[in-house]
Amino acid sequence: MRKILINSLIISSLICTSTCVFAVKDVTTSPEDFYLKEDQAPNSLLLLPPPPAYNSIDFLRDKAQYDWGKSLRNTERGHQAYLDADTSKDNITEQFSSSFGFAISSDKTPEIYKLIATMKEDAGDLATRSAKNYYNRVRPFSFFHESTCRPEDEKTLSTNGSYPSGHTTMGYAIALVLAEINPQRQNEILKRGYEIGDSRVICGYHWQSDIDAARVMAGAVVAQLHTNTAFTQQLAKAKIEFDMLKQ
């Protein structure tokens, strides 16, 4: 009886092992929200230098920029920083609409919307994840024990690494792609993407060096996206849709 039980357990184990091998998938990504798999995204830990040490000259710059950001929070620019903190699909496309020259939404520009809504976490999550997890850099508001421009996000982000900035990588990557679709508005679009990074400093959620590193990762992830068939096919659809908008 004991021998039969042992044999049954072995067989069950082999079946489970076989099933698990074939069931393994990248559970961090899905076709609806990402173009890339985690192992296809540029590796921020390999590409970027470590964040500045607290006793370095570069950190003095980080501190100076943090003070600059605080001085703008109660201004119109500070309000824009608050809006930029919301990276939901509908909000981030809306925040680019003015610079793009046309409203970007799921009903008015479905192909452009789908392109941006799907690629945003390739940049904001996959391209920054490895360095964020490894360094787990303390965010400015936590370092100084001060509030931010958007208090409702503080609890969640207080335990999340600061370097590099996911919001900035996302914003600048989207800007690069939108500038390719509408090159006549590239200056306005890229400026808007650049501002999203500055907004993170203004809010107190990121150091300036987080922002600088994120802009590097934005270029890297867009380059990788251009090797992805699903992305390039959707980009082509977005360009056709844009050509129709101009008519």
Q: Are 9 and 174 in contact (CB under 8 A)?
A: no
Q: How many CB atoms lie under 10 A from the CB of residue 222?
A: 23
Summarize pLDDT for 212-236 with one digit per residue, the tens. 999 999 999 999 999 999 999 999 9
Question: From CA 104, how far away is CA 115, in angstroms rounded?
Answer: 11
Question: HSE on the CB side for 149, CA within 13 Å?
Answer: 28
Alpha helices for 122-185 (secondary structure H) = 129-135, 140-144, 154-157, 166-181
Catalytic residues: 167, 200, 206, 210
Mean pLDDT of 184-200: 98
Higher pLDDT, 38 or 5: 38
pLDDT above 90 covers what percent of the chain? 84
Mean pLDDT score across all residues of the chain: 90
| Confidence at residue 235, expressed as pLDDT on a 0 to 100 scale | 98
The model's pLDDT over 144-163, given as tens digits with 9 standing for 90+, comes to 999 999 999 999 898 899 99
The encoded tokens of residue 85 equal: 């903190």
pLDDT digits (tens, 9 = 90+) for 9-60: 333 333 333 333 333 345 456 777 899 999 999 999 999 999 999 999 999 9
Which domains, ranges and CATH numbers included, belong to the chain? Answer: 28-246 (1.20.144.10)
